Chains A and B, each alone.
Chain A
Amino acid sequence: MDAKELIARRVAQEVKAGTLVNLGIGLPSLVANYVPADRGVFFQAENGVIGLGARPPEGMEDDHLTDAGGGFVTAVPGAASIDSAMSFGLIRGGHLDMTVLGGLQVDESGHLANWKVPGKMVPGMGGAMDLVTGAARVIVAMQHAAKGQSKIVPVCTLPLTALRRVDLVVTDLAVIEPTGVGLVLRERAPGISVETIRAATEATLVIPDTVPEMILT
Chain B
Amino acid sequence: MKGLKPEAAAELIGEGASLMIGGFMAVGSPHRMIDAIVARGVGGLTVIANDTAMPGRGIGKLISAGLVRHVIASHIGLNPETQAKMIAGEITCDLVPQGTLIERIRAGGMGLGGILTPTGLGTEVEDGKQVIEVEGRRYLLETPLKADFALIGAWQADYIGNLSYMLTAHNFNPIIALAGRTVIAEAENIVPVGVIAPDAVKTPGVLVDHLLIRAS
Contact of B171 among A67, A75, A83 (CB under 8 A): A83
- Which residues of chain A are within 8 angstroms of B117 by Cβ–Cβ distance? 92
Cβ of B106 under 8 Å from chain A: yes
Q: Please state if B73 and A48 are interface contacts (CB–CB under 8 Å).
A: no
Q: Please state if A85 and B106 are interface contacts (CB–CB under 8 Å).
A: yes
Cβ of A171 under 8 Å from chain B: no
B162-216 contacts to A, CB under 8 A, are 165-175, 202
* Binary contact track A30-56/B, C-beta < 8 Å → 1, others 0: 000000000000000111110000000
* Binary contact track B120-141/A, C-beta < 8 Å → 1, others 0: 1111110000000000000000
Cα of A83 to Cα of B174 in the assembled complex, Å: 7
Cβ of A199 under 8 Å from chain B: no
Chain A interface bracket (under 10, 10 to 19, 20 to 34, 35 or more): 35 or more
Contact of A163 among B103, B121, B165 (CB under 8 A): B121
Q: Please state if A66 and B119 are interface contacts (CB–CB under 8 Å).
A: no
Cβ of B91 under 8 Å from chain A: no
Q: Please state if B122 and A64 are interface contacts (CB–CB under 8 Å).
A: no
Chain B interface residue count, Cβ-Cβ cutoff 8 angstroms: 47
Cα of A158 to Cα of B118 in the assembled complex, Å: 20
Cα of A82 to Cα of B83 in the assembled complex, Å: 29
Query: In angstroms, how far is the closest chain B Cβ from the Cβ of A122?
Result: 7
Given the known interface contacts A125-B95, A160-B122, the answer about A49 and B168 at a Cβ–Cβ threshold of 8 Å is: yes
| 24 pairs, CB–CB < 8 Å, chain A vs chain B | A47-B168, A47-B171, A49-B167, A49-B168, A64-B168, A65-B168, A70-B27, A81-B166, A83-B172, A84-B50, A84-B171, A85-B102, A91-B99, A92-B117, A92-B118, A116-B124, A124-B51, A129-B97, A130-B99, A133-B119, A134-B99, A160-B122, A161-B123, A163-B121
Q: Given A88-B98, A163-B123, list of 5 further CB < 8 A pairs?
A: A47-B25, A84-B50, A84-B171, A129-B125, A133-B120
Measuring CB to CB, which residues of chain A are less than 8 angstroms from any residue of chain B?
45-49, 62-70, 75, 81-85, 88, 91-92, 116, 121-130, 133-134, 159-163
